[in-house]
Structure formats: structure tokens, C-alpha cells
Amino acid sequence: MRVRSLELVLVLAVLVVAVLLSGCPPKTPEGGTPGPSPASTSAPAKTGAAPAGEPIKIGAILSVTGPSAPLGVPEQACAQMLEKQINDSGGVSGRPIKIIIEDDASEEAKAVLAAKKLIDQDKVCAIIGPTVSGTTLAIADSCDKAGIPLISCAASVKITQPVKKFVFSTAQTDVLAVGRIVPFLKDKKFTKVALICDSNAFGQSGAEQLKRQLPAAGVTIVDEEKFGTKDTQMTAQLTKIKAANPQAIICWGTNPGPAVVTKNAKTLGIKAQLIMSHGSANPDYIKLAGADAEGIVLPCGKIIVADELAASDPQKTVLEKFKADFEKSAGKPPTTFAGHVYDAVEILLPVLKTAGEDKAKIRDGIETTKDFAGIGGLFNLSPTDHNGLKPDAFTLVTVKGGKFTTAK
């Protein structure tokens, strides 16, 4: 009986101690509150305190309507997604951000008016966009003179070369794009090509680079044609190209033009390899061109084939997260063009935390961006390079089974 009584006392004592300890929070070595438990570290990070005060205003000029809407609409969706994410996480230095989006309707005159409004009325500290080269070039000088940092989403090398103090770009340039096509031509032993390029700024900037780089690589341009951005038939131009008997046809433009070229070429029975520019690197091209897109080749950013990248690729993690976030927010996969807005905002964000709304300091901060793994590539900007991307920003893809996949 004495033994059983002793056991009962011991059990009761243990229970009392356990109850007392459960009501006392453990102490850290510093005597503060405990850190997160191992289980909580794997949970999503909690958002910060709600931002307060006057918003930090950032302008965005995007082609939400007009011929370039297939590019501008996902860019708008990305801007809206990022604004929400940033503000849900506490904003910038405790203040909310406001991305004021202006639709330029794919027109240069409207882009000029939008820039004036953002600068004079809205008093933004920086502008993201425009979507395409023509609208960007229409406002680049005025933004530069006004001392407003402009981070374009367009690809013409003329945006950043020669360097303008306040003008930057996150899109892979046409110089890099042509540079990625040249090895493909050499590998296939193609020595005769024809060009068919949009008459707009993007198309003609690409044509300039093609005419500069191809002859230097031993490739002869047997014919060169143009088309209008809104043209719905390219049969006449392609008939001339067919007569020139090229081994490959390079089309430089943004949809719908390249899709029309693709369909018309198939209708005419043209057997030459079709090569598109990175302006066609979005699902709308395949949707518009249909089965005729099968087998085309183009250089593009890695977002389209993110799931095919090696685990060691420095962009893989950010690409997969961006893809998941965008699909959750917009209900569809992201495009390369949405990625240009992502990169612009993410380059700008840490700069705002240190520079505030001082436009000169923002400019300086953007220019010193180093080793930023974004959607478009690994960015290293400098006083002589306001794009900061290298040839490895591009991969070569083809259309197989109605989907983009890495070209073998």
C-alpha cells in the first residue's frame, strides 16, 4: 500500500508541474519571445502591418487595347498583381504603392499624352512601359529631359542605345534575339534567308539588326518585305519571297501579323523554315496561327519553358514562383511580356526603399542593379548598359503539338 500511495503522489506531482509549465511561455536565450516553431517556418509568411500614408505613385503606360493588346493585357494583369502583393506585405517602407495604369491603345500620340499626365498631374516617381518600341521611343526623350526614370517593356535596342540617362528597358533586345538566331542558321547550314518585317519601330529595328548580323555570319538575304501592323493578308509579299527560294524566312513583328504570315505561308505551300522574333513568344501566336504554327522556331525568354529548365538554372526558382502567382491571380499562364513588368517593378522596389521618391536617386539605384535574377534573365546594369542582359537571356523554342518547347 505504501508503494502504491507513493506512486500516486509522484503521478500527481508530475501532472501539477506539467500544468504549471503549459501556462508559461518559454524564454529565448535573450529573454525575449520565442521564435517560430519548426512547423511554422514552412507556412506562408504573414503579411506585414497595413501600409499607411500617402501612396508612392508609379506610372505604367501599357497597350491594353489596340493591335498590341496581346502584349499589354498580361502586362496590366501583372502590374495589378504586384501592387496587391506589395501592399498586402506592408508596402514600401510602411507606405502603400499605387501603380497608375494608362492605356495608350497601341498609339504613339496617346502614349505621349499618357506620359504628360503621369508626370504633370499624377506626379509619379517613375514610369514602367510602354509596351512596344514605337510608343516607348515616342516618350523616351521627354521622360529623359523631365528627369523621370522610365523602365520600358519594349525590345528595340534603340531604346537603350545610345544610353539616355533616365531610360532603361527590361525586355531582351533585338540585338540579342538576332544573335540567338544566327547559330541556328549556321547549325542548319542555311545560307539564304528572306525577311518579312513589320513596318513599325520594333519590326524595322529588328530588320536593321538582321541586315547587320546575317551578312557578317555568311548568310545572304535574298529578299526583304514589309507589312503593316494591322494588315490581314501578306500573300503578295510571301509570293515574292517564295520566288526567291530562301531556305528560311524570318518574320519580325508582334501579333497578329506574324500569325498571318504563318498561315499565308502554309497556304502558298512554302517549305522554307519559318523563324519568328521574340515578339511572337506568347500563347496568342499559337492560338491565332493554329496548326500552321507547328515547327516554327523563335528565340524567347525562359518563362515559356520554365518547367524544362535544369534545377541549377539561376532563373528557375523565380520563374516557377512567378508562374504560380500569375496563374493564381490572372487565371492563365503568364507571358514573356508580363515578365517585363515584373522585372521593372522588382528592380524598382529595393531602390524605392532607399531612395524614396527622389527621382535622381531612383535613377542612380536602377543603374547600379547587379545580379538580379528576373523573368527576362540575369540583369547587370551599368552607366553604359541600361538593359543589362546578355545572350543567355534567350533560349530557342519551337512549336510542337500546339505548345512551345525547347528546340533540340
Which residue spans within 199-351 are E strands per DSSP? 220-227, 248-252, 273-276, 297-300
pLDDT digits (tens, 9 = 90+) for 244-280: 999 999 999 998 999 999 999 999 999 999 999 999 9
Confidence of residue 282 (pLDDT cuts 50, 70, 90): confident
State the pLDDT at residue 255: 86
Domains 56-172+314-390 and 175-300 share a fold: yes
State the pLDDT at residue 140: 98
What are the backbone dihedrals phi and psi of residue 59, each rounded to the nearest 5 degrees, phi first? -90, 155
Express as a percent the part of the chain with pLDDT over 70. Answer: 88
Cα separation values, 43 from 36, 38, 167, Å: 10, 10, 40
Q: In what order do the strands lie in the sheet with 248-252?
A: 220-227, 192-198, 248-252, 273-276, 297-300, 395-400, 403-406
Domain 175-300 has CATH 3.40.50.2300: yes
Express as a percent the part of the chain with pLDDT over 90. Answer: 86
State the pLDDT at residue 111: 98
Sign of the alpha-carbon torsion through 4, 9, 12, 13: negative
In terms of Cα–Cα distance, which of 405, 377, 385, 388 is closest to 301? Answer: 377
pLDDT digits (tens, 9 = 90+) for 160-194: 999 999 999 999 999 999 999 999 999 999 999 99
pTM of the model: 0.84
Q: What are the structural domain ranges in the chain?
A: 56-172+314-390, 175-300
In terms of Cα–Cα distance, which of 45, 36, 129 is closest to 85? Answer: 45
CATH fold of the domain at 56-172+314-390: Rossmann fold (3.40.50)
Task: Give the Cα separation of 264 and 236 in Å (integer).
Answer: 10
pLDDT digits (tens, 9 = 90+) for 285-332: 999 999 999 999 999 999 999 999 999 999 999 999 999 999 999 999
Task: Give the Cα separation of 237 and 223 in Å (integer).
Answer: 10
Beta bridge partners of 196: 225, 251
State the pLDDT at residue 30: 33
